[in-house]
Amino acid sequence: MASEITGAQALVNALEDSGVDVMFGIPGGAILPAYDPIFDSKIRHILVRHEQGAGHAATGYAQVTGRVGVCIATSGPGATNLVTPIADAQMDSVPIVAITGQVPSAAIGTDAFQEADIRGITMPVTKHNYLITDPAQIPRAIAEAFYIASSGRPGPVLVDIAKDALQRMTSYNYPKKLNLLGYNPQIEPNSEAIRDAASLIAQSSKPIFYIGGGVIKANAAKDLLVLAELVGAPVVTTLMARGAFPDSHSQHLGMPGMHGTVAAVTGLQKADLLITLGARFDDRVTGKLSTFAPNAKIIHADIDPAEIGKNRYADVPIIGDLGPIIRALIPAVKAEFAKNKADITQWWKQMNSLRQKYPLGYNQPSDGSLSPQYVIERIGEITGPDGIYVAGVGQHQMWASQFVKYEKPRTWLNSGGLGTMGYAVPAAMGAKVGAPDTPVWAIDGDGCFQMTNQELVTCALNDIPIKVAVINNESLGMVRQWQTLFYKERYSNTDLHSKRIPDFAKLAEAMGCVGLRCESKGDVDKIIKEANAINDAPVVVDFSVYRDAMVWPMVAAGTSNDDILIAKEMAPDWDSQEL
């Protein structure tokens, strides 16, 4: 029998044996025993400046690499600071494992110093969680956490470990076999469902692919391309699926939803068949649910059975991993097409007409100031489709989704489900750690940036040279847009004055980054190129932009997708469309 080691050493061994190469965290009292063996471990530990940064960094790392991201914090406030990124990872199905220290087991329940019931707190926002008080349970809990986080529908798993469990001695055995009685995700699809889906596809004269983030999680983008070209139908990619299908592809209509393209939104509305792959009929996509895609039959493929029928009835549900599902659909569709294939030429005529008439676009500001959309578009064009783009939440996020062109999966990161302002800087940090040779641009707002910019210190000290574009409209822009549209231009508490305070370039310099400023259109390309050329330090560019730019098109919250507007009080000219 192997000699005994501390629970803390067992934790670090188990993390190493789970394949962890990097983790983001901050030590504190209850987790301190673990930090001693971390000092000697081959795992790279990146000391962040706020636990929220550790959590989003783990998420960014996981989204770029497809591996499990790891964050670690102490009990009480350390753990509660992880709650936002954990909830964020849960909503966007990102595999992360969060390790937290807990007060000694004898003190649990006594309101001890830095005690918080983090297992109870995170129960509704984790895929699963653990409270470990016995050191012998640590290796199994860690192994299970990695398996649960990464398999099935990915998600966050929290392992809370009492301080005395880290200190006590135990023998170490990394489990070779897990035995989770109640957890056995279905991978292979039911063949009857595949045949039914193929049959519907062959009969449909107005089919459309409704692609969600699941395609990226399943690493199924290449398979999707084959299936989509075989079927020949229009494709829309949701906010979480940008990059799952090339933007340059002629079948791609863009993003659907609240700020989707007219063609993508209308395509879903008018289709007779939605081929839904790894998407979940989120309210931001469906608009008013009762009026969503009223004439469409639904094929709904997802690894999570609870998504089937949650918001919209599925005529053909397919449960399983999207890789095997799409690969099974390809021959099944071919077989159906050999028998019959409905004509979709007329459907394409309609879609092409919408696409030509209502392309994404924006006006240059009338006052001569810098257009935020132009800045974001140029960052994408100059950096190219090999770059990784990470957005915060708000107008800049929508523009980054609309005006950067994505060709590959795992190049677009954002907080889609939870809508976490402050996501961009720490997630970009994690992304850069996961893809050190790829340029990583955080496209952030001045509001978002002020929530988590302290992680630039972490970036500067740890050789993580991310680039940050602060799209500075000196306001909480999306909220301001809603105030413009729905609250009679009463701008209650959305003015941030951030062209005056803080000085973002100076702030960047103070944090060990290069700080740049850009105020005019003529300087945009030069400054982006300058930022791209700097690879030995993080760069922050303060783009001072037009504050009244708005995100269009727009389906107002709670209204029907049929009521999409292409500009203020301006609906598409439906009468001229043959729909």
Partner 1 sequence: MAQHTLSVLVENSPGVLARVASLFSRRGYNIDSLAVGPTESPEISRITIVLNLEGHALDQVSAQLFKLVNVIGIQEMEDKNSHQRELLMVKVNSTADNRPKIEAVVGKYRASIVSQASSSLTIEAIGNSAEIAALLGELSSFGIKELVQSGLIALENGDATLAERTLQETGLASSSTHSQTEDYQN
Binding residue for partner 1, selected from 3, 184, 290, 493, defined by CB under 8 A: 184
Whether the Cβ atoms of residue 5 and residue 27 lie closer than 8 Å to each other: no
Q: Is 341 a catalytic residue?
A: no
Residues 4-23 that bind partner 1 (CB under 8 A): 17-20
Q: Looking at beta carbons only, is 148 or 555 nearer to partner 1?
A: 148
Residue (of 309, 188, 208) closest to 265 by Cα position: 208
Q: Looking at beta carbons only, is 147 or 482 nearer to partner 1?
A: 147
Whether the Cβ atoms of residue 177 and residue 115 lie closer than 8 Å to each other: no
Q: What are phi and psi of 67, to 5 degrees?
A: -90, 175
Residues 187-206 that bind partner 1 (CB under 8 A): 187
The reply to whether 450 sits near partner 1 by the rule CB under 8 A is no
The reply to whether 309 sits near partner 1 by the rule CB under 8 A is yes
Q: 270: which residues sit within 8 A by CB, 6+ positions away?
A: 206, 295, 350, 579
Tell me the window of 6-14, 139-147, 361-369, 421-429 that interacts with partner 1 (CB under 8 A).
139-147
Q: Which of 23, 24, 51, 206 is catalytic?
A: 51
Binding residue for partner 1, selected from 109, 120, 361, 436, defined by CB under 8 A: 120
Alpha carbon of residue 561 to chain centroid: 23
The reply to whether 146 sits near partner 1 by the rule CB under 8 A is yes
Catalogue the E-assigned strands of 94-166. Answer: 96-102, 128-132, 156-162
Q: Looking at beta carbons only, is 64 or 68 nearer to partner 1?
A: 68
Whether the Cβ atoms of residue 394 and residue 476 lie closer than 8 Å to each other: yes
Q: Looking at beta carbons only, is 175 or 512 nearer to partner 1?
A: 175
Instruction: Tell me the H-state helices in 19-126.
Output: 32-40, 51-65, 77-80, 83-91, 118-122
Q: Looking at beta carbons only, is 361 or 436 nearer to partner 1?
A: 436
Q: Looking at beta carbons only, is 90 or 269 nearer to partner 1?
A: 90
Alpha carbon of residue 88 to chain centroid: 8
Tell me the window of 84-92, 141-149, 276-284, 553-561 that interacts with partner 1 (CB under 8 A).
141-149
The reply to whether 405 sits near partner 1 by the rule CB under 8 A is no
Residue 182 beta carbon to partner 1: minimum distance, rounded to whole angstroms: 4
The reply to whether 180 sits near partner 1 by the rule CB under 8 A is yes
The reply to whether 308 sits near partner 1 by the rule CB under 8 A is yes
Q: Is 114 a catalytic residue?
A: yes
Token representation of residue 73: 């914090």
Residue 348 beta carbon to partner 1: minimum distance, rounded to whole angstroms: 36
Residues 235-274 that bind partner 1 (CB under 8 A): none
DSSP state of 281: -
Token representation of residue 367: 């006052």
d(CA 276, CA 212): 8
Q: Is 486 a catalytic residue?
A: no
Q: Which of 478, 511, 550, 554 is catalytic?
A: 478
Residue (of 261, 138, 274) closest to 206 by Cα position: 274
CB atoms closer than 10 angstroms to residue 551: 21
Q: Looking at beta carbons only, is 306 or 533 nearer to partner 1?
A: 306
The reply to whether 182 sits near partner 1 by the rule CB under 8 A is yes
Binding residue for partner 1, selected from 2, 124, 345, 522, defined by CB under 8 A: 124
Binding residue for partner 1, selected from 195, 284, 310, 499, defined by CB under 8 A: 310
User: Judged by CB under 8 A, how many residues of this single chain contact partner 1?
Assistant: 36
Q: Is 395 a catalytic residue?
A: no
Q: Which of 163, 206, 297, 432 is catalytic?
A: 163
Q: Looking at beta carbons only, is 522 or 558 nearer to partner 1?
A: 558
CA distances 438 to 11, 23, 56, 243, Å, are 32, 20, 19, 16
Residues 43-102 that bind partner 1 (CB under 8 A): 67-68
The reply to whether 183 sits near partner 1 by the rule CB under 8 A is yes
Tell me the window of 305-313, 337-345, 391-399, 546-554 that interacts with partner 1 (CB under 8 A).
305-313
Which phi-psi region, left, alpha or beta, contains residue 560 (left: φ > 0; alpha: ψ -120 to 50)? beta
- Spell out, one character per residue from 506 to 545, where the chain touches partner 1: x when CB under 8 A holds, - when not: ----------------------------------------
CA distances 65 to 40, 78, 94, 126, 439, Å, are 25, 26, 11, 21, 14
Integer-rounded Cα radius of gyration of the chain: 24
Residue 97 beta carbon to partner 1: minimum distance, rounded to whole angstroms: 9
Residue (of 181, 235, 247) closest to 211 by Cα position: 235
Q: Is 336 a catalytic residue?
A: no
Helix (H) or strand (E) holding 133: none
d(CA 68, CA 20): 8
d(CA 527, CA 541): 8
Three state DSSP letters for 531-549: HHHCCCCCEEEEEEECCCC
Q: Which of 16, 114, 203, 364 is catalytic?
A: 114
Binding residue for partner 1, selected from 29, 36, 112, 147, defined by CB under 8 A: 147
Give the residue carrying structure tokens 């008080």.
133
Q: Looking at beta carbons only, is 150 or 286 nearer to partner 1?
A: 150
d(CA 197, CA 300): 9
The reply to whether 2 sits near partner 1 by the rule CB under 8 A is no
The site for partner 1 (CB under 8 A) is made up of 17-20, 67-68, 119-120, 123-124, 127-128, 131, 143-144, 146-148, 150-151, 176-184, 187, 304-306, 308-310
- Catalytic residues, by residue number, are 51, 113-114, 163, 478
